[in-house]
Amino acid sequence: MSVRVGVHVSIAGSIDKAVDRAMEKGCDTFQIFSRNPRGWRYKALRDAEVEEFIRKVEHSGISPAVVHMPYLPNLAAPDDEVYKRSIASLIEELRRCSSLHIPYLVTHLGSHRGYGKAKGYRQVVNAINTAFSEVDNEVMLLLENTAGTKNSMGGTFEDIEHIIEGIEQVDRIGICFDTCHAFVAGYELRTEKSLKATIQHFDAVIGLERLKLIHLNDSKGGLNSRLDRHEHIGLGYIGESGFRVILSEEHIRKLPMILETPVDARRGDIENIRVVRALCNK
Residue 68 annotated among the catalytic residues of the structure: yes
d(CA 127, CA 90): 8
Q: Are 184 and 223 in contact (CB under 8 A)?
A: yes
> CB neighbours of 155 closer than 8 A, spacing ≥ 6?
145, 146, 147, 148, 149, 181, 185
d(CA 36, CA 52): 19
Residue 59 annotated among the catalytic residues of the structure: no
List 178, 218, 231, 269, catalytic entry: 178
List 35, 181, 190, 232, catalytic entry: 181
Residue 201 annotated among the catalytic residues of the structure: no
Residue 144 annotated among the catalytic residues of the structure: yes
d(CA 257, CA 175): 13
List 35, 230, 232, 237, catalytic entry: 230
Residue 215 annotated among the catalytic residues of the structure: yes
Residue 264 annotated among the catalytic residues of the structure: no
List 4, 8, 35, 68, catalytic entry: 68
List 35, 108, 172, 190, catalytic entry: 108
What distance, in Å, lies between the first and last C-alpha atoms of the chain? 13
Residue 210 annotated among the catalytic residues of the structure: no
Cis bond upstream, residue 262 (ω within 30): no
List 92, 144, 231, 269, catalytic entry: 144
Extract the runs of DSSP E, i.e. beta strands, from the chain.
5-8, 30-32, 65-68, 104-107, 140-144, 173-178, 211-215, 218-219, 230-231, 257-259
d(CA 171, CA 141): 10
List 112, 210, 215, 232, catalytic entry: 215
Largest CA distance in the chain: 51
Strand partners, 239: none
Q: Beta strand pairing status for 211-215 and 218-219?
A: unpaired
Residue 178 annotated among the catalytic residues of the structure: yes
List 58, 71, 168, 266, catalytic entry: 71
Residue 230 annotated among the catalytic residues of the structure: yes
List 228, 232, 237, 269, catalytic entry: 228
User: How many C-beta atoms lie closer than 10 Å to residue 275's C-beta?
Assistant: 21
Is the Cα torsion angle 261, 259, 204, 111 positive or negative in sign?
positive
Residue 93 annotated among the catalytic residues of the structure: no
Residue 249 annotated among the catalytic residues of the structure: no
List 161, 260, 267, 271, catalytic entry: 260
Q: Would you name the residues annotated as active-site residues?
A: 38, 68, 71, 108, 144, 178, 181, 215, 228, 230, 260
